[in-house]
Structure 1
Amino acid sequence: MAVRPLRNVLLIVADQWRGDCLSALGHPCARTPNLDALASEGTLFRRHYGQASPCGPARASLLTGMYLQNHRSVANGTPLDARHTNLALEARRFGHAPALFGYTDTSPDPRGRDPGDPALRSYEGVMAGFDPVCSLTESIEPWAEHLRARGYLVPEPARAIYRAAEPFGPAAYRAEDSDTAFLADRLIGWLKGGEGKPWFALAAFIRPHPPWVAPAPYHDLIDPATTPPAARAVDWTAEGKQHPWLAWHLARQKTDCWMEGEAVDPRVLDAATLARLRATYHGLIAELDTQIGRIIDHLRQTGALDDTLVIVTSDHGEMLGEHWMLGKSGYFDEAYHVPLIIRDPDRLGGGVIDAFTEHVDLMPTILDWLDGTSPTHPPAQCDGRSLAPLLSGAVPADWRSHAHWEFDFRDVIGGETERALGLRPGQCVLNVLRGERYKYVHFAALPPLFFDLAEDPGQFRDLAADPAHAALVRDHAQALLSWRMENDERVLANTLLTADGVFSRGETRGPDMPKGAESPL
């Protein structure tokens, strides 16, 4: 299959970047001039959602084009079935050798491997098809080696470099030597070495994922007093009354990765400390914006930007104190709503898109770009649709009216979740159907939730048991069931063996909800 000369792809994936944290969207603490400029040239998707959480499942959906219900890599460490193709393998069909800067958090399929294979000792594997030019996992090598070469005294373990000298103080390293700058430097150096040849690069930055420690001047770029207060109930016990899963999660929630070396208990997080955490989070976003700007400037200066599809997004979001939560668990929008900016040199000026888009759409979109002719049929496993029409500002009449995500909360090793909530492993899952006005959350074996987002945008009042909303709850439950049935794994479903041989038919992806199912009150 031929490749149009110099048809390049740059896919930038941040980690834990909330979808509202762009100054182009009016966030008071966002300092993202470079992404704002990129969005003004390309297309900004205001309602883009990831399919799963945490990192491993989220990236599996993004890079396979599959919903969690189909790829079944439900947690960090759950193997991704080797039978699935992915974006990198498909790009190789077009003559590209996709380069990886950062990580994919892909847990390899253990079947066919020796039990002693070191690849089976970590969830941080590399997805098949990617060439790891600069692998940067939680061990932070080779960044630590870079720091040593710059004269830093890197502690043991190396991750202790994230510990600030004082609470909420700046990082011990300079901004030009940060993990974010390091990865951007490696990508730019690689681009300089391959000028004149078509290329494909995935740059997976760890930021703004915790630990929330930022180098100067980003550590105090944002005044904590200017950060919007978190939307949450009066205390965590009141918050937990909304649902049994939420009560259980809040009661056990504690982590030491938000400020490296110091445990943070979200249940007792006072407003001032939370404001400082939120300010540092936005400082890390500003730092990443600066480094993305350097990369885009290099492409512009070399002329490569005119031949490069640029996509910037994140794997999942961050609760950031909302509902007394840190991290990305559960069903609230903040954990799944992520930025998406696409600059397609063939379709500039797409504007702002309000239609619901999803991570499963990115693989079909990129394959369309690589094909360079008419829209191509993505692999049968893909659950999404190409965003190419939306990049021209036109939303197809049958485009989805909802976003969907899934969260699996089973505890494979200890079974703590199952014992606490009286569930079997397969029952530890929730599905979300999120529309313009209403949001329905279905648990496999726990009560559902239903929110009127127009009246209750913070999602504090569950209406699932309200008789006045019974018909709407029923309609959404039925729509979610129909959506799941339509989106069951279909790789061979449209293939028949006949007397004339193998017959296969591509499947057109259609709307996700029957018309009228979301009628207003």
Structure 2
Amino acid sequence: MADRLNILFITADQWRGECLSALGHEMVKTPNLDALAREGVLFRRHYANAVPCGPSRASLHTGMYLQNHRSGTNGTPLDARHTNWAKEAAKLGYDPVLFGYTDTSQDPREEDPDSPWLRTYEGPLPGIRPVCMMGTWPTPWTDWLKGEGYEVPSDIRFAYGHRAPGTEYEDGAAAPRPLVYPKEADDTTFLTNRTIDYIAGSDKPFIAHLSILRPHPPFVAPEPFNAMYDPEEVPGFRRKENAEAEGAQHPWLEHQLSRKHFRAPANERKLRRLKAVYYGLMSEVDEALGRIFTFLKESGRWDNTLIVFTSDHGEQMGDHWLIGKCGYFDASYHIPLIIRDPRREADGARGTEVDLFTENVDIMPTMLDLIGAEIPVQCDGASLRPFLEGRAPEKWRSEAHWEFDFRDPADDSAEKRLDLTMHQCTMNVIRDEKYKYVHFTKLPPLFFDLEKDPDEFVNRAADPAYLPLVLEYAQKLLSWRMNHDEQTLTHISLTDDGPVARPATRY
């Protein structure tokens, strides 16, 4: 065990994939993540497999597509029969620990009827030990704030967005109002400090999952990050002239834009303020991660720690008049991925970038592969180890895939508006370098020519010139789903000589 790798597995919630200065973003500055990329591998075309947080993290932590783990919404239980990276690492003697949250909805069949985990979707991943668990209720942080003499809202859920008094930017202020707490005391710094404290006190190989809320809403940043980016200077929004014109693209989009919670503010100054603060929160996360990286170097752990940085999903941030994460647009699914592998075998790949499509289902197989654990048959993804060692895999996917389950057991408005049953509130997406195909269970499909229309404005599904391609991509999507049907026991046959097993790759 002594010579085993440490793992620092970092997720920053709701981080759009292009928002790294290493990728040439016109505004966002991420010097510490850029430095990590120079010492590791940057995956340019990395995608989440689902939204929102719960379904996406279920894929991230189990290595399974939504069609197999079936935790399709925030609150849909994750079947206890599925394993995950934490359980598998524990078999090798690791003690996987959590700082933040995993948004795992617990299987009610495994819980006592009075369990508090049956009253929230924000349960812990089975097999992980929460050291500092913070989600909607940031109790460890707010308790610490009180102990330090800071005033905390009576409803501690509002501490994340507790603004300093004053005028807001859209009402004439020169900059967005900051968080009332200084950066030395905010939630990102608090969680970072707890992680450093834990690692500093660890005398054996560790696996720590640091799950940071930011840049997820509320879009409120401490000074100086609230004013780091000028709202007037942020890039514009990729959208049609108004939400009504946008919604004409598809019935689902028209429905989504009718929902106040997902429709971007009409006030341009407010939307620009949100985007500027969104960027500021990213730079704050980058600064916090820089402190962890410095600590790992100074404590002698840098050269034995695998670092994985990614997100659970992206953010529309006004594009297509949407806010949040939903649907089929790339902005909700394209996310960053940087992996620094400390092993000597990875030296030749340092500073390289990968243009092939990678997905969050690849993270679990990668971590398990690098610590010498067996990769479970349930995993739909594959280890990224070849890329980390500077060699191309013999076979690899040529598209990205994701799913969106927009059912809501507590709200049947989509079913009524779109004439669907609850189980028909689903869509599947396949996209490659040139085209994107979106298939709905019982709604018209969408097809985009990404070379001619990178912002996804023109649906060509009914264009006669594109019909052969629409058919081709519908068949590709069907073949992908068939190839990735749940296969946990399908490689086993019971014979006269007993069970015979022959695992096979997905590609």
1:409 is aligned, of 389, 406, 410, to: 406
User: What does the per-residue CA deviation read over 1:6-44, in whole Å, with 9 as the maximum and x for residues that have no partner?
Assistant: 411110011000000000111122110000000001000
Higher mean alpha-carbon deviation, 105-114 vs 66-75, is at 105-114
Q: Which residue identity does 2:126 align to in structure 1? A: A
Q: Provide the C-alpha distance between the structure 1 equivalents of 2:77 and 2:408, rounded to a whole number of angstroms.
A: 15
Q: Secondary structure at the match of 1:40?
A: helix
The one-letter code of the counterpart of 1:242 is: Q
* Matched-pair contact (CA < 8 Å) for 1:377–1:506: no
Task: Find the aligned partners of 1:472 and 1:377 in 2 and give their Cα distance.
Answer: 39
Q: Distance in 2 between matches of 1:378 and 1:439?
A: 30
Q: What's the counterpart of residue 185 of structure 1?
A: 193
Q: Is 1:448 aligned with 2:455?
A: no
Match of 1:152 in 2: 150
Partner of 1:262: none
Q: C-alpha displacement at 1:401, in angstroms?
A: 0.4
Letter in 2 for 1:286: S
- Aligned partner (choices 61, 75, 78) of residue 76 of structure 2: 78
| CA deviation after TM superposition for structure 1 residue 289, in Å | 0.2
The CA deviation string for residues 103-148 of structure 1, in whole angstroms up to 9 with x for no partner, is: 1100000114333322201111001110000001111111101111
Q: What is the SS of the residue equivalent to 1:111?
A: helix
CA contact (8 A) 2:4 2:371 kept: no
Matched residue SS, 1:79: coil
* Cα offsets for 1:352-401 (capped at 9, x unmatched): 11000000111110011101xxxx65101000010000112322242100
- Work out whether residues 58 and 104 of structure 2, in 8 Å CA contact, stay in contact via their aligned partners in 1: yes
Aligned residue number for residue 355 of structure 1:
356
Question: What residue identity is the alignment partner of 1:390?
Answer: F
CA contact (8 A) 1:10 1:201 kept: yes
Give the share of equivalent positions with the same residue, in percent: 53
The residue aligned with 2:416 is: 419
Partner of 2:504: 507
Which among 242, 253, 258 is matched to residue 235 of structure 1? 242
3-state SS of paired residue (2:241): coil
The alpha-carbon deviation at position 414 of structure 1 amounts to 2.6
Are residues 1:214 and 2:211 paired?
no
Q: 1:187 to 1:202 in 2, by over 3 A?
A: same
* Map of 1:324 onto structure 2: 321
C-alpha distance in 1 between matches for 2:502 and 2:194: 43
Please tell me whether the aligned partners of residues 355 and 395 of structure 1 are also in contact (alpha carbons under 8 angstroms). Answer: no
2:177 to 169, 189, 194: 169
Match of 1:312 in 2: 309
1:112 to 1:194, Cα distance in 2 relative to 1, 3 A: closer
Q: 1:230 to 1:159 in 2, by over 3 A?
A: same
Which residue of structure 1 aligns with residue 273 of structure 2?
276
Contact 1:88 1:98 in 2 (8 A): yes
Counterpart of 1:260 in structure 2 is: none
Q: Determine if contact 1:402/1:433 at 8 Å carries over to the other structure.
A: yes
Q: Distance in 1 between matches of 2:491 and 2:50?
A: 27
For residues 141 and 442 of structure 2, what CA distance do their matches in structure 1 show? 45
The residue type paired with residue 320 of structure 2 is: H
* Residue-by-residue CA offset, 1:401-450 (whole Å, 9 max, x unaligned): 00000000012123221111111112110111010010111111100000
Count of matched residue positions in the alignment of Structure 1 and Structure 2: 493
* Residue of structure 2 aligned with 1:67, choices 55, 65, 68: 65
Task: Return 5+ residue gaps in structure 1 as ranges.
Answer: 256-264, 511-521
Q: Secondary structure at 2:82's aligned position in 1?
A: coil
Whole-angstrom distance in 2 between the partners of 1:486 and 1:304: 40
Q: Deviation at 1:350?
A: 5.0
Partners of 2:7 and 2:307 within 8 A in 1 = yes
Corresponding residue of 2:368: 367
d(CA) in 1 for partners of 2:117, 2:46 = 33
User: Aligned partners of 2:468, 2:4: CA distance in 1, in Å?
Assistant: 54
Instruction: Check conservation: 1:350, 1:391, Cα contact below 8 A.
Output: no
Q: Please give the alpha-carbon distance, in whole angstroms, between the structure 2 residues aligned to 1:4 and 1:358.
A: 31
CA offset digits 1:179-236 (Å, max 9, x no partner): 00000000000011014x1110000000000000000000000111221001000000
User: How far apart, CA to CA, are the structure 2 residues paired with 1:145 and 1:180?
Assistant: 15
CA contact (8 A) 1:350 1:393 kept: no
Q: Deviations over 1:320-352 (max 9, x none)?
A: 110000000110000011000000012131501
Paired residue type of 1:454: E
The amino acid that maps onto 2:41 is: T
Give the superposed CA RMSD.
Answer: 1.2
Cα offset, 1:500, TM superposition = 1.5
| Counterpart residue identity of residue 490, structure 1 | Q
Local SS of the residue matching 1:357 = strand
Tell me if the contact between 1:7 and 1:308 (Cα under 8 Å) persists in the aligned partners: yes
Contact 2:80 2:110 in 1 (8 A): no
Q: Does 1:435 align with 2:432?
A: yes
1:77–1:107: 8 Å Cα contact kept in structure 2?
A: yes
Q: In the alignment, which of 457, 467, 471 is matched to residue 468 of structure 2?
A: 471
Are 1:198 and 2:210 an aligned pair? no
Q: TM-score, normalization: structure 2?
A: 0.95
Match for 1:10 among 8, 11, 15? 8
Quote the residue 1:285 is aligned against: 282
Quick one: distance in 2 between partners of 1:226 and 1:459? 24
Distance 1:435 1:315 in 2: 20
**Residue 455 (structure 2) aligned to one of 437, 458, 465:** 458
In the other structure, the counterpart of 1:55 is: 53
| 3-state SS in 2 of match to 1:360 | helix
CA contact (8 A) 2:62 2:361 kept: yes
Q: Secondary structure at the match of 1:123?
A: coil
Question: Matched residues in 2 for 1:4 and 1:462: separation?
Answer: 56
Contact 2:483 2:506 in 1 (8 A): no
Structure 1 position 122 matched with structure 2 position 120: yes
Report SS of the residue matched to 1:132.
Answer: strand
* 1:261-304 Cα deviation digits (max 9, x unpaired): xxxx52x4232221111000000000000001111111111121
- State the SS of the aligned residue for 2:213: strand
Aligned counterpart, 2:490: 493
Q: Distance in 2 between matches of 1:475 and 1:359?
A: 25
Kindly provide the amino acid, as one letter, of the partner of residue 426 in structure 1.
H
Q: Secondary structure at the match of 2:130?
A: strand
User: Does the 8 A contact of 2:231 with 2:272 survive in 1?
Assistant: yes
Give the aligned partner of residue 172 of structure 2.
Answer: none
For residues 336 and 411 of structure 2, the distance between their equivalents in structure 1, rounded to whole angstroms, comes to 35
Q: Which position in structure 2 is the counterpart of 1:261?
A: none
